[in-house]
Structure 1
Amino acid sequence: MKKLFILSVIVLSSAAAMAQSKVWKNDPAHSRLGFVVKHLTISEISGRFADFSVDVTTTKADYSDAQISVTAKVASIDTDIEARDNHLRSADFFDAEKYPVLTFKSIYLKKTGQNEGKLYGNLSFHGITKAVTLDVTYFGTVVNPMSKAETAGFKIKGTIKRSDFNLGANFPEAVISDNIQIIADVEFSPAK
């Protein structure tokens, strides 16, 4: 009888926790998953993945237990120059035909300030998965006057090495920097 009672408490506690979790999705019209890379050591070229989605599941208002999942279609890479975008999609770089999806899965989020934190997770693309750490800034939550939905805003920044992902291995750092800055600005609302 005691085992049945304990099992019932565990099941009910799990059900209550699941009922309190909230899933947030990014608003594509007000979100950008971008990157910046140095060219010839003298200029910066920026781009983005136009087709991406982010799901955040959390039970806490401060997002400290957030589980974050990002998926981007590699073929949606956009640097405003079609020839360059086609080259980036090719086997010289992302090989979008062979590796069509880029993903990020969070491990945990550590609060470092009132509205700042470190996001730890695994980034996967070009057939390689690496642990990454990203800086997160929370801008706040408001009710969007157009959609009437609760909306939260974040900026996520970090730096990865393209050599870690065997990206553009035939292009030396004097042509394309090894460091790639990730810059994402994202608005989220609860999923319907």
Structure 2
Amino acid sequence: EVEMRDNDLKSPNFFDVAKFPVITFKSTAIQPVGNNHYKLTGNLTMHGITNPVTMNLVYRGTIVNPMTKKDDAGFKLTGTINRTDFNIGTKYPSAMISDEVTIKADGEFAKLTKNAQ
């Protein structure tokens, strides 16, 4: 059942969300590697542990948002991390659950104006 899986992932067996409710990523560098493709480097904090990671970032283009009439830029982020580097699911060997975890995210970001708060 999905609820049982979700509760297990939230438990101290994995993410321990009661103790570590937030995952953060703070970028430190971005380097172009091709047309609209970049390497995004930063510090990922998860489960109370911070490690440097590098992700692939693709700029998907900019459009005028019909609701706000402002530019919105689209991005796709992909990468792989090792769950044991963050002390997640250490009771489970890689034969049961892969150590490698694929991250995929799509985002849309609005251009801020100078006077935006």
Q: Does 1:112 align with 2:33?
A: yes
Could you list the runs of 5+ residues in structure 1 that have no partner in the other structure?
1-79
* 1:190 shift after superposition: 2.6
Q: Does 1:92 align with 2:6?
A: no
* 1:173 shift after superposition: 1.1
Residue 144 of structure 1 corresponds to which residue in structure 2? Answer: 65
Once the two structures are superposed, residues 124-183 of structure 1 have per-residue CA deviations (whole angstroms, 9 ceiling, x without a partner) of 011110000000000111101233221000000000000101100011112110000000
Once the two structures are superposed, residues 69-116 of structure 1 have per-residue CA deviations (whole angstroms, 9 ceiling, x without a partner) of xxxxxxxxxxx9221111111000000011111000000100111200
Q: TM-score, normalised by structure 2?
A: 0.91
| Poorly superposed stretches of 4+, deviation over 6 Å | none
Structure showing greater relative contact order (alpha-carbon pairs closer than 8 Å, 6 or more residues apart): 1
Identity %: 52
Q: Which has the larger radius of gyration?
A: 1
Tell me how far apart the structure 2 counterparts of residues 146 and 123 of structure 1 sit (CA, whole Å). Answer: 33
Q: Alpha carbon RMSD of aligned pairs, Å?
A: 1.3
Q: TM-score, normalised by structure 1?
A: 0.57
Q: How many residues align?
A: 113
